[in-house]
Chains A and B, each alone.
Chain A
Amino acid sequence: MNIPEYTPALVVAIPLLGAFLTPLVGRVNDKLRNIFVILILAINAMLVALLSYDVLVNGIQTYIFGAKDLSYPIVRILFEVDAMSVFMAIIGSIVLLVAVIYSWAFMKENTGLDKYYTLILLLTAGMLGMMLTGDMFNFFVFLEITSISSCALIAFRTDSAESIEAAFKYIVVSAIGALFVLFAIALLYGQYDALNIAALSNAIQYTFLDKIALVLLIAALGMKSGIAPMHMWLPDSYGKAPATISLVLVSATLASLYGALRVIFTLYGNVLSTISNSGIPLNVSIGWLIIALAVVSIIIGVIMALIQSDFKRLIAYGAVAEIGYMFLAIGTGIAALGTQYGETALTGGIFHIMNDAMDVGLLFLVAGAIYYSTKESSLNKMGGFARNMKYTTILFIIGFLAVSGIPPMNGFASKLLIYESTFMLNPILAIIAILGSILLLAIFVKVFYSAFMGPEIPRFKNVKEVPKSMLFAMGIIACIIIFFGLFPELVITNIVEPAKNALMGYSGYVSQIVGGGI
């Protein structure tokens, strides 16, 4: 099969074009606009699938915007797509497609939906751009596009004071984060006269300024991916945004996580395993730093989730714990670079990125479904929903079993890899990880009993099941969860392992640009 070389550009360009066409289409008809947005994202998902096929079969793909000839001063931007990028892009496009299908019925009663869909498409463009780009400054631009559009989406319900407050918190945090990313990029640019990730990685010396840049990049991207102690914006914005936006925000957050991975493994890949500071190798010190933050995230996430009474806020704290699991695995992978269990940890961590987006996303959608039917978000006032909403109940059971890592759901497959590999590094880490999972299970069983079981509450006597389109959207995610849980080997060998190899083998990423003469 012949896939055109400009596919990476199209993956970003189509949502961007769609974003600006949406208000025009919305003038004609609301239904037409919804179909148009779903169509745009479906086309985009197909393009991502084609691109993934191409990358997994033929290796790294590049697309050059600007000068192809090297004899002039080079003014150009590169898209460099490897297996890790397409892995993230697959997650992003599935999540976005599900979100717009769910929005059809869920957002029906809101006004200003033209803007809502425009912002969603802009966020898609920014998020996919972050994942596909091979240029640091371009990464910053897409990071800002993503944060601006997600902030506007968090504040979408402007009549609620809390959502405005959450949006303000989010924009301050992400603006500062993005500016520090830009400062770090400037530090690197000033030394090596390059913005391309591959060229920078090839030239990097690990000078004092590089250390500052590394710290700034990890701190800023870690803050944007919601790792403790920089997680405080996350429960607010996840909890107060509409449910579809919480789902989309999960994947936007994961894009920042991807940025952190790219910085550590590719940009500093050259020095990661060779440099050591006062006797401790660089990868060990970075790895243990990340592990420490991850453990704090898991503990804070589950403990704070225990005491929440708001459904979506509780899930958001669960999401903090899940972010902790990913960073725990990634930190173990970095600290044990070059060993067998280090690779297992990285595989588990990367697989968990996808599982987290699906599991937490499904729980947010269930919370949204309950809000849609009952206009109630406090767990204290819920009860007996299983009588009237049996499909939603089943979906919730699937979701919480997956989040707490119970077989046969997908969360089990990745968490098992994480337990195994962290045990090899330090048994205490595995104990904390398992304890976190058990607590998550306990929390969600409590939620299950208080919201779905129990006596019928007179106020909710006439609650109806949510519309079919919402059930369909949740059903897609539930199917993916069960499929991944039943056949984890299939997923791991086909997309997770190549992504891990792409991260570990930074030299392939570099030589594609620097040595290959592009």
Chain B
Amino acid sequence: MYWMAYGTNWFIHFRAISECLQRMDGRANCHMGTGALGLRPKRRRIELQPQFGLFRAGGIGYSQTLLETTSFFIGWRPYGNRVWPLSFDKRAFKAFCRGNGIAVPRQWNLSQEVEADVLIKRGVSSFSEGINGPYTPAAVKASSQALVNGEIFEEFIAGDIIKVWYWNATPVCLEVLPMPTVTGDGTCTLRQLIRRIKVPHADADWSALQAIAEYQGLSLDSVVPVGRQVLVEFRYQSILHRVQPDFPNLNVLAKFADSPLMDQLRRSGEIFWRGIPEPIRQNTLFTVDGIIDRSGTARFVEMNSNPAVHPDAYAPMLQGLFGIGVTRDAGQTRPAPLQSPAAATRVD
């Protein structure tokens, strides 16, 4: 049913584009051989490139061509693919953020230095792959766990998960999801409680769930006491996030419009955007993931240069591409110089 979810349902994307073009007095055709979209507003023409999703062993993958295994739609963008160092390496991203005053979780490289609950993450990975934990500092130190292949200990922050879509420096969509929990009834084991909230027919990663249980002093076969709330997932949109009726649009940007969080997202957006190398900076869509901590501050964990396109991103995208509206262009302001990732690393 994944293809029915709001952002992966292709015709929701068509509807979003169509609504934008109506306001711009434009039209569009889709090439059925490739899925490319030719836009023609106001005697101009731009081609948007499609991207598709598929299920593969161990997770999902993206493809720019329509394959026999294609299962869902990711979105259109005015380019094929763009990758830059901050989007490629989580360590570089966090070093860049720290160097430029953007809140991120703390990070350690040695188990004996760990001072907070942590996740073990790979510096380079996609789709929430290669994340282990959480672990308490005591557990990390007791195991003397050595990191391999560019892994890091990253502070684990329990809070709401956020994903922000930026068109250039402007936040254009925001999703805020709680970390899923179950509540004990004094009868059921944690495994049974998880099965009750899990998306049916999807395979759960029980070893990862066991690690989350152990972090809270439980096992999957523990009977959870009455009323005890147990965290069962910390990743964005997992199979433990309850399917909502009618697969609604989860963009809550408008709800946060005048909030301190939005101020933070706007200020951070300027800096994130300028972290993209200049030759590929203009007219770029990217996402940044983070956690909202107890103080309401977003702490950012990674930047994605190749995200699924939220359908609500097309309006600012097309306005920007056709020079309509107020989307920020490079050179409009004279921003403060940035700390480069390398310099930021030295600061650490």
The finding on whether chains A and B are genuine partners in a shared complex, rather than unrelated, reads: no
A-contacting residues of B (Cβ < 8 Å)? Answer: none
